[in-house]
Chain A
Amino acid sequence: MSIFIDRTTRLLVQGITGRDGSFHTRQMLEYGTAVVAGVTPGKGGQAFDAGPAATAPPVPIFNTVADAVEETGANVSVIYVPPVFAADAIMEAAAAGIPLIVCITEGLPVLDMTRVYPFVRDHGARLIGPNCPGLITPGVCKVGIIPGRICAPGPIGLVSRSGTLTYELVDQLTRAGFGQTTCVGIGGDPINGTNFIDCLAAFEADTATTAVVMIGEIGGTDEQDAARYVSLHMSKPVVGFIAGRTAPPGRRMGHAGAIISGATGTAAEKVHAMVEAGIPVGDRPVDVITLLRERVAAVGSAVG
């Protein structure tokens, strides 16, 4: 089992012929993901060559998402278009009835997101991202850019605001023998489609997930809200990590959302809220593994 993506995922790639889109489409095909369609306006009717490494047949390309959905029954879309077109691409996917939209693109203006967010919600769709690495259900399906070889199937759910820091933690989990049900990167922007609580609720409901790792960073109050949610609604153990303890206030630390405004959004505030809610937080990435081992053992012995 897993959350959001599984064996029934039929993936559409928006921006399939671009530099990033084509590279990552090949990676996703090699991982075994069912990529059923691509969209590039003006290239409808052509086919995307998956390359020699893939055993999959060429992927048909369409001019619009609506055409692609009608012809192929795609039910998840991943977006690799440049930032100025990304808001429109997300809305096009939602309007075509795609229930899960994953936007990898970084650099969307935040005012675009204030219009996109209600549009997606009104169409009953879920958006993951923007500015995120996507998600992976190890051994089954990969949507986005998380390197497949660092993941392994197993019982741990992982949700993170970061990209390469996610890879670091996933890699350490896998090396320590903790495989994953699904790893989700929700993105580093101030307004994103899916937050920690959405993912924690999904992991709580997923029978295969036994514990969750959440990786946050400075900026906003999403981690504090998630901590409150965990203390009220989750039975499964959660352990955490927060990046940005040394970040100066008022500066944007790479991610548009990673900024301490006034006294809110500091790492100390987040760590405090999480620890209060019973979520142990590692000082170093490697401590997360130790904390997870302790929590999983404690739950195991309580059940046994």
Chain B
Amino acid sequence: MNIHEYQAKELLRQAGVPVQPGEVAATPSEAEAIAARFGTAVVIKAQVHAGGRGKAGGVKLAKTPAEARAHAERILGMSIKGLVVSHVLVAQAADIASESYVGIIVDRVSKRPVVMASPAGGIDIEEVAATTPNRIRRVAVDPRYGLQPFEAMQLAFFLYHDVRRARAAARILRQLYDAFIASGASLAEINPLVSTPTGELVAVDAKISIDDNELERHPELAALRDETAEAPSETDARKANLTFIKLEGNVGCVVNGAGLAMATMDLVKYYGGEPANFLDIGGSSNPEKVVNALRIITSDAQVRVILFNIFGGITRTDDVANGIVTAIRQHPLRVPIVIRLTGTNEQEAVRILASAGLSAVTDMDEAVRAAVALVGAESVS
């Protein structure tokens, strides 16, 4: 789960990191009032879960409260990569002598948290990694001991040559590490970490992603979720305990298991169709999950055919069949449906479907070909 810049900065502030002062505004007059209170130049920053805010016009410098109001008027309500801006951060503008990058991810290869530092701050770290990899230094931390002072100093001296700023950077690295562990993050970064002309360090932008699997034991972090920042169908699916990702195509897919769901999408594409979504109804699927899945898929106006692909192991195919029949009784379908099911209680499932006038096939390829053909036939007619 991604959280907003202002939320990430608050977590860092609580961990002791010196953060650029700022407050959140939802209206232009709030932005003006905050700027007046600060009495300094401010930066108005769109709060959306998207990179490239600056290029999109979502970050503006304001020298006066009136200017802050004008910028906030333009930025609030603007759309950045399809996401509408509902809040702006009004932050005191920092005097910048130099910019660095510090960040932490969980590395799959070393199976450890890896702390990274680069003197090339302010730009995308993946770009730095691709173009000038010698400008990044990394330390893989043994999580049983945490980030040691000497490890933090090694990275800090890569950023700054004077001991005063190096010590300050090492302290910030350890505070960042503590915040990363305490919040169950999968990513935490400060970019840029700014050095002012007087040699003070301050976090000017920050990003934290929380591991979804940590949210159960961190209700205070789960509460930071901004539902306006996700597609409504994805919020709906999450509440129904389904994993759903909306795509651009027109073949709506309902599958049990993530790997089989991906393979089904791939097969739709292989036969010339376009998947409308990824949807995994999970292992022990009860009929209600199937009802919710069908409701979410059919609410997408682009969907022209629905494709079920169920391999019954733990999932009982008769449960799925009951779910399909119940859902169709509640909300009659306006598009054709193709059902593939095989495995546990398959004969019972076929009987349940037949009683509702539906049929099923047992072969995955056959079902996908049929679904794609239905879309093709419809677009021709």
Contact = CB atoms under 8 A, between A and B. Distances in A.
A15 to B, nearest CB: 15
A196 interface: no
A218 B313 CA distance: 23
A298 interface: no
A165 B280 CA distance: 12
A127 to B, nearest CB: 11
Interface string B317-345: 00000000000000000000000001110
A88 interface: no
Nearest to A165: B259
Contacts of B256: 164
A146 B275 CA distance: 28
Main secondary structure of the interface of A (DSSP, over half): loop
Interface in A127-154: 133, 145-147, 150
A253 interface: yes
Nearest to B283: A163
Given A114-B111, A164-B260, A254-B258, A283 B213 contact: no
> What is the interface residue range for chain A against chain B?
35 or more
A150 B342 CA distance: 11
Contact of B262 (A107, A243, A286): A243
Nearest to A20: B284
A234 interface: no
Interface string A249-278: 001111111100011000100000000000
Interface string B263-292: 101111110000100101001100000000
B214 A246 contact: no
B113 A84 contact: no
A217 B280 CA distance: 15
A165 B267 CA distance: 13
B106 interface: yes
A161 interface: yes
Nearest to A108: B213
B149 to A, nearest CB: 20
B269 A166 contact: no
A217 B262 contact: yes
Nearest to A285: B263
A30 interface: no
Contact of B258 (A109, A162, A191, A286): A162
Interface string A77-105: 00000011000000000000000000000
B216 interface: yes
Interface in A185-226: 188, 190-191, 215, 217-218, 220-222
Given A258-B262, A284-B365, A114 B143 contact: yes
Contact of B266 (A84, A109, A221, A243): A243
Interface residues of B, number: 52
A135 B187 CA distance: 32
Contacts of A190: 106, 108
A20 B283 CA distance: 11
A168 B263 contact: yes
Contact of B257 (A111, A113, A165, A251): A165
A171 interface: yes
B186 interface: yes
Contacts of A114: 106, 111-113, 143
B109, B143, B144, B212: which has the most chain A beta carbons within 10 Å? B143
Interface in A27-53: none
Given A164-B260, A164-B313, A243-B262, A251 B245 contact: yes
A110 interface: yes
Given A246-B265, A284-B365, A107 B143 contact: no
B311 A109 contact: no
A262 B313 contact: no
Given A84-B216, A246-B262, 18 more contacts: A83-B216, A109-B217, A111-B143, A111-B211, A114-B112, A163-B283, A167-B343, A188-B258, A188-B259, A217-B262, A243-B259, A247-B265, A253-B262, A254-B257, A256-B213, A258-B259, A285-B263, A285-B364
Give 7 nearest A-B pairs by CB, closest first. Answer: A162-B259, A254-B258, A164-B257, A165-B259, A243-B262, A164-B260, A244-B262
20 contacts: A84-B217, A107-B213, A109-B184, A145-B313, A146-B313, A147-B344, A162-B258, A162-B259, A164-B256, A165-B260, A165-B263, A167-B311, A168-B311, A222-B108, A246-B265, A247-B265, A251-B278, A253-B262, A254-B243, A258-B262
